[in-house]
Amino acid sequence: MHSTIYSIRQSFTVTATTTAAKKGGDNIGFNGVIKGDKVVPFCRPQLQRDRAVRFAPGSRNESPMLREALPKLTSIARAGGIELKGTIVSLDGVYDCHANRKAIFNRGMVPNNNENTRGRKTTKRGRKRLFDAAIFKERFRTIERVFALEDKFRRVLIRFERISTVHYALKTLAYTMINLRHFRG
């Protein structure tokens, strides 16, 4: 098992958020609570939101979206010269499935998510999953801070644009401003 300090520096956080839509438009879905679209960003503890995101209608489940976003993440990391081998990916409970863990392991990364017992009274047989509670706790500070900073940009808080590419460009601009503010001090 990696040491906690090393792991937090070499980790990504993955979760999903739904943006409410005021009007209709493309890439909009209703998830039973709100009408909007989902975003699955990859964030680092240094408050950076990486561009490997996956956008989908709000009615779509996030679990398959992770597998679609991982090739994008590896290509961005390869272009930026970032080594992903041994990187810990801290995941939300919704991503706890065999296919997601296999996709992460195949890229040389290590998933860090608390096992979903799915109503079992006893522990599951087999090898124990790697889980570091300190990294999982850091995930909440990282991702919730990024989403709170995103909410300061009123234009992306509620989606008014009917064309999704305009809305996603505004979101990318907002995340760029967040990163700039963080690194400029």
Q: What is the mean pLDDT of each run of 10 residues along the chain (185 residues)?
A: 39 73 77 77 65 68 84 83 85 83 90 80 78 80 78 84 85 82 74
d(CA 82, CA 48): 14
121 lies in some domain: no
pLDDT (0 to 100) of residue 103? 92
Q: What is the pLDDT of residue 143?
A: 76
In a domain, residue 50? The reply is yes
| Residue 90 · residue 138 · CB < 8 Å | yes
- Distance of alpha carbon 185 from alpha carbon 169, whole angstroms: 24
**What's the predicted TM-score (pTM) here?**
0.72
Helices (H), the chain: 4-9, 63-80, 98-106, 133-150, 154-157, 164-184
What is the four-CA torsion angle of 169, 174, 6, 131, rounded to 10 degrees? -70
Q: Is residue 39 in some structural domain?
A: yes
Residue 100 maps to a domain = yes
In the chain, % helix, strand, coil (3-state, to 5) comes to 45, 20, 35
According to the model, what pLDDT value does residue 6 have?
34
pLDDT of residue 9: 45
Q: For residue 48, tell me if it sits in a domain.
A: yes
- Token readout for 146 is 């990024």
| 37: amino acid identity, one letter | D
CATH of residue 38: 3.30.420.10
Q: Which whole-number Å values give the CA distances from 6 to 102, 103, 156, 184, in the listed order?
A: 23, 23, 34, 24
Number of domain units in the chain: 1
Long-range Cβ contacts of 63-68 (<8 Å, 24+ apart): 63/94, 63/95, 63/97, 63/99, 63/100, 65/16, 65/38, 65/40, 66/14, 66/40, 66/91, 66/95, 66/100, 66/103, 67/99, 67/100, 67/103
Does 144 fall in a domain?
Answer: yes
What is the distance, to the nearest Å, from the Cα of residue 46 to the centroid of all Cα atoms in its chain?
14
Q: Enter the tokens of residue 167.
A: 């809305």
Q: What is the residue range of 82's domain?
A: 4-115+127-184
CB 19 within 8 A of CB 34: no
